[in-house]
């Protein structure tokens, strides 16, 4: 059932730079609200909009947004996101779900407008431990590689003045619920869980970053909604901060490490679902991939991961604390000491636009 109607007053987005409300049009499709990309282009001050092909693209002086009709993949300045629902075409209109606009696009484009807390503490969570070895390769176990990255990241973050806590600092098993409880004991903090992936296929490789799925949307690896997707999670109180942190972290990871970008994804892992502070889970490569496992086994690669985590934290902190609209939806600046393991053709540095949409 399709239908179009003006957005009610309570659903209007207000432009900070103007005194009048921006009038949106909602299209109902499959019992879900969608908004037209041409209106999104005008609201966010894109100067060009190519909506005629199956790869709709919005471009401006500082930002490029590109998706695919009937696809959940979205690229913001080359950084890959997995949408909760596909972009669709209805008649002559290309539409994005209202949920994706409010829970992904808006906080990513305007992290400075999120009412986040200043970051003083970083809770690092090395995955697995003890009898729980996690994924394995011929060179070692996930539990050991994750702990090594966490210890390296702690050293870097301490240098930048952060208070750093680890859910485990040795080879011990810590239940997932206890990790979440530990994170909740730390105010003004962010949570970063460190893992390595395993895949059924050897050619699966690359970096992905997870954050909590908003209520009412499927996890990125699921195609359909389930009853569990509608259950409230305490972590959803931080939806805006979660996706902003994930964007800053993933940008830093792809910039420093390179390799396949598997995207920023949503899930309901216990350590993301049950925490009261912003959190992400990083998958630093596949231990089942012949290429990735060789890289993961080298201290230099694990140091790059630690540097990316430190860089991502600082980028998020700048955006939230000082209203600095940088480093979220772009390949981040590289510091002079950064090893140049990337494709220079894909490295673009952009500022972010200033107007704000608030639901």
Confidence label for 115 from pLDDT (cuts 50, 70 and 90): confident
d(C-alpha 39, C-alpha 42), whole Å? 5
Output the DSSP codes for 3-29. EEEEPPGGGPEEPTTSSSEE--EEEEE
β partners of residue 283: 195, 208
Q: For residues 119 and 316, is the Cβ–Cβ distance under 8 A?
A: yes
In a domain, 306, yes or no: yes
Least confident residue range of 76-90, 150-164, 311-325 = 311-325
> Are 181 and 330 found together in one domain?
yes
Please write the tens of the pLDDT for every residue from 228-285. 999 999 999 999 999 999 999 999 999 999 889 999 999 999 999 999 999 999 999 9
In a domain, 116, yes or no: no
| Predicted pLDDT at 322 | 62
Map residue 85 onto helix, strand or coil: coil
| Predicted pLDDT at 319 | 85
> Are 87 and 132 found together in one domain?
no
> Are 126 and 92 found together in one domain?
no
What is the pTM for the complete model shown? 0.85
Mean pLDDT confidence for 13-25: 52
In a domain, 284, yes or no: yes
CATH number at residue 84: 3.30.457.10
Radius of gyration (Cα) for the chain, nearest Å? 20
Confidence label for 116 from pLDDT (cuts 50, 70 and 90): confident
d(C-alpha 213, C-alpha 220), whole Å? 8
Mean pLDDT confidence for 22-47: 93
Confidence label for 321 from pLDDT (cuts 50, 70 and 90): confident
Cα distances from 39 to residues 103, 109, 329, 339, 358, in angstroms, run 17, 16, 20, 41, 15
Percent of the chain exceeding pLDDT 70 equals 84
| Predicted pLDDT at 323 | 53
> Are 273 and 135 found together in one domain?
yes
Please write the tens of the pLDDT for every residue from 203-228. 899 999 999 999 999 999 998 899 99
> Are 226 and 162 found together in one domain?
yes
pLDDT at 286 over 70: yes
**Average pLDDT of the chain?**
85
> Are 54 and 137 found together in one domain?
no
pLDDT at 181 over 70: yes
Please write the tens of the pLDDT for every residue from 275-285. 999 999 999 99
| Predicted pLDDT at 203 | 87
> Are 169 and 237 found together in one domain?
yes
First-last CA distance in the chain? 25
When mean pLDDT is compared over 60-64, 148-152, 348-352, the highest value belongs to 148-152
> Are 161 and 288 found together in one domain?
yes
Q: Which of 30, 65, 97 is the last residue of a domain?
A: 97
What domain range includes position 246?
121-340
């Amino acid at each position: 059932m399709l239908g179009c109607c003006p957005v009610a007053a309570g659903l209007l987005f207000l432009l900070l730079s103007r005194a009048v409300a921006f009038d949106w049009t909602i299209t109902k499709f499959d019992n879900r609200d969608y908004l037209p990309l041409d209106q999104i282009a005008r609201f966010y001050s894109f100067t060009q909009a190519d909506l005629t092909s199956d790869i709709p693209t919005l471009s401006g002086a500082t930002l490029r947004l590109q998706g695919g009709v009937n696809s959940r993949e979205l690229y913001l300045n080359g950084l890959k996101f997995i949408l909760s629902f596909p972009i669709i075409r209805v008649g002559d209109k290309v539409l994005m779900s209202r949920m994706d606009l409010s829970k992904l696009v808006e906080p990513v484009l305007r992290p400075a407008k999120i009412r986040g807390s200043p970051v003083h503490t970083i809770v690092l969570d090395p995955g697995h431990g003890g009898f729980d070895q996690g994924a394995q390769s011929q060179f070692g176990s996930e539990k050991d590689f994750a702990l090594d990255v966490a210890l390296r990241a702690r050293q870097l973050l301490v240098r930048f003045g952060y208070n750093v806590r680890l859910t485990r600092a040795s080879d011990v098993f810590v239940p997932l619920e206890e990790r979440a409880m530990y994170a909740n004991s730390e105010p003004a903090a962010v949570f970063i869980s460190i893992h390595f992936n395993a895949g059924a296929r050897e050619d699966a490789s690359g970096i992905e970053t997870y954050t909590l799925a908003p209520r009412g949307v499927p996890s990125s690896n699921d195609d359909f909604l389930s009853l569990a997707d509608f259950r409230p999670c305490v972590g959803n109180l931080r939806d805006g901060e979660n996706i902003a942190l994930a964007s800053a972290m993933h940008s830093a990871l792809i910039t420093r490490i390179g390799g396949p970008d598997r995207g920023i994804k949503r899930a309901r892992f216990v350590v993301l679902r049950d925490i009261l502070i912003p959190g992400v889970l990083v998958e630093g490569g596949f231990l089942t991939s012949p290429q990735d496992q060789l890289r993961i086994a080298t201290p230099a690669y694990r140091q790059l991961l630690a540097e990316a985590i430190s860089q991502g934290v600082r980028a998020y902190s700048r955006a939230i604390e000082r209203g600095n609209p940088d480093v979220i939806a772009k390949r981040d600046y590289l510091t002079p000491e950064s090893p140049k393991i990337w494709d220079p053709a894909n490295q673009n540095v952009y500022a972010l636009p200033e107007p704000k949409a608030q639901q």
